Structure 1
Amino acid sequence: MRPPEELDSVDWASLRHGMRADASNVPRIIRALYADDGRSARERVRSLWVLNCWAEVYSATLAAIPFLAHAAAHVPAVRAELIRWLADIADGRGPGSTERGDADAAVFDLVLAELPALLRFLEDPDPETRRAVVCLTPLASLVGEDVGKDVGDRLARRYEEDPDGMVRADALSALAALRRDVVRRWAAGAVTDPEPLVRERAAVLLLEEAGTPYPADLVEVLAEASAHAPPRDGLLSLLVVAGPSWLDEDRTRAYEGLRFTRVRALALRTFLRAWCGANHINHLDLWEPLRERSDLLVDGLHPTAEGHRALYEHLDALGR
C-alpha cells in the first residue's frame, strides 16, 4: 500500500491510461477518494474507469493499485467499491489465463500483494464490504497454504453465520473456487437452505458440476429460488435477461441466411419483457440507449466503442 502523500513521487506524466497518453490527472482522481465532498462512493470511484477501460490495463493502472489499496483500507465510504474494483481487475489475469500478457501478470501480482492486508475486512460491519472481500478470497490459494486454509475457514464461517443472504451465497461460490470438494459436500445440502439466494447459488454450482444434460431437479431448484430471491439494488441477484439493442436495418448484413430487421428485434424485445414479467426475472432493456443513433453502431448491429460507453452509462444509471 502507498499513502496519498507519496502520489507526487510518481512520474505520472510519463505513464498512460485508457483515455490519454499523459496520466497526470490520476493523482487528482485518487485524492478525491479521500474527500468527503457529498458524492456517493460509486460516483467517486467511477473516474477509475480510465485505468481499465475496455478491460485493458495500462502503465498508470500498475502505479495506481497500491494507492487504491490504501484508500480501500483507510476510507470506509469507498471501501466496498474499491475492493470490488481490485477484485474485478485481477479477475481473469491469474496464472491459469490462456491469454495472459506481461501487464496482466503485473496487475494480478500487485493485487495479490495487497490481499493479506484487505482480508481483515472479511468481518467488516458493512455487508457490501464483506461481499467485496469475498470476491477477492479465491486469490488466497496463491498467497500460501497457511493463508489459503485460514481464508477457507473464515469463508466457511461467513457461509454458516453471516446474517446477509448475498454474503452467504457469495461465500459458497468462493469456497467452491478454493475447495472444489465443497461443491459436492456443501452445495448439495444448500439446495434446501431457507435463504433463496443460497439455494440459487448452490443450484448453479451443482449444475456446473453436473454438466449437460442438466438434472431436472436442479433446474427446478434454480427456477424456484430465483423467483423468490429478494431484489438487490433493484435487480435480482443472479438471473437477468438483457433485451436486444436498437439496430439500423439499412446497414445490417445477412449472416448465414439470417437477416436482422427492426421488426424481428422488436418482437424479441416484446417477448422477453413479457416472459421476464411472468417469471419474476429482471429484464434489462437495452433498446433505448442506442435508439436512432446509427453512428454508435459499427455495422448497424454491433456497438462501436462509443456505443459500448452509452450502454455502460445506461446500465450504471439503472444500478444506482
Structure 2
Amino acid sequence: MSQNVLLTGGSGFIGNYLTNILIGAGYSVSVLSRSDKENTSEITYYKWDLNKNYIDENAVLNADFIIHLAGEGIVEKRWTEKRKKAILQSRTKPIDLIYSVLEKHDKKLNGFVSASAVGIYGAVTSHKICTEETPPANDFLGTTCQIWEKASDKIENLGIRTVKIRTAIVLGKDEGFLKKINPGFKSGFGAVLGTGKQYLPWIHVEDLCQIYCKAIADNKMHGPYNAAVTDNTTNSRFSKILAALYGYAIWLPKIPSFLLRIVLGEMSEAILTGQRVSSEKIQKTGFEFQFTDLEKALIASIN
C-alpha cells in the first residue's frame, strides 16, 4: 500500500504542483479543504475550518506524512494590523489543529514538513550570505517566521521528525511571483524596484517540490533548510533578464523607494530589501537543483 501524504494548502500554486509530483512518485495524497469536494481516484479530500477550530481527525490519523503549505499571501494586501494577524494565524493555527489530533491519539507520523520562508533573516539588504544558523530578525517577516517554525517544534516534541523549508521567491508558469509582475513586463513596461541592488533569492517550483519530496523520503533530514538558488541575483538583474526575454531593454526609470513605501506601506520592505541565501545545507543532503540559471528558469516559467 502506498504511503499517504496529507497537504494543507493543497489547492494553491505550490500545493497543486506538489500533488502531481507526489502522485507521480507513487504516494497517495490527501488534501485539507475548506469546501466540500468529491474524492478522485488519486486525491482524498477532508474538511477543515480554521475559524471554527475544526479538522476532520481522519485526515491526520490516515496520514503517514504531513506537508504544511497553508498560509495567507505575504504581498496580497497592505499590512494592516488585522492583515498581519491573519498572515500569522493562517500559518500557525493549522499546526495547532494538527498537533491536537496527534497528541490526542498518540499518532506517530513518519515525518512533518512545514513551509517557512527566507524572510526569517529579515527585511534588510546586506552582502552577508544567510545560512540556517543565521540569527532570525525581529521585524515582521522575521518574527512571523520564528513563530511559524516554533509552532512546528511542538510536533517535533511528540517524537516526530520535523523539517522546515525556508522558501525564497518561487518561479512557476503563470503563478506565484511572476503572476504579479509578468503582465507589466510582457506589455513592455517592466521596471526596476527601488535601488535594484536588493538581492532576490529565488527557486523554481519544480526544485521546491522536489525538496519537499526529499524531505519526506530522507529520514536524515530534520530542522530548517534554505530552499533558494545561491546566485546573487538582484532585483535589477532579475528585471533586466525578464525584460530581455520579452525582447526589450528596460526603458522606464527605477520606481522610487519612497513611492513604493507610500503606496504599499510597511509591506514595501518585502520587495525593497533582500539578502543572499546559502543553499549549501540542502545540497549536502545530495539534492541537486534542476534550475540554477535564472534565465532558463524564467524561460520555463513564462513559455
Same-fold call, TM > 0.5?
Answer: no
* Structure number with bigger Rg: 1
- Return the structure number with greater helix share: 1
User: Relative contact order: is structure 1 or structure 2 higher (C-alpha 8 Å, sep ≥ 6)?
Assistant: 2
Pick the structure with more strand per residue: 2
TM-score with structure 1 setting the length? 0.27
Q: Structure 2 length normalisation: TM-score?
A: 0.28
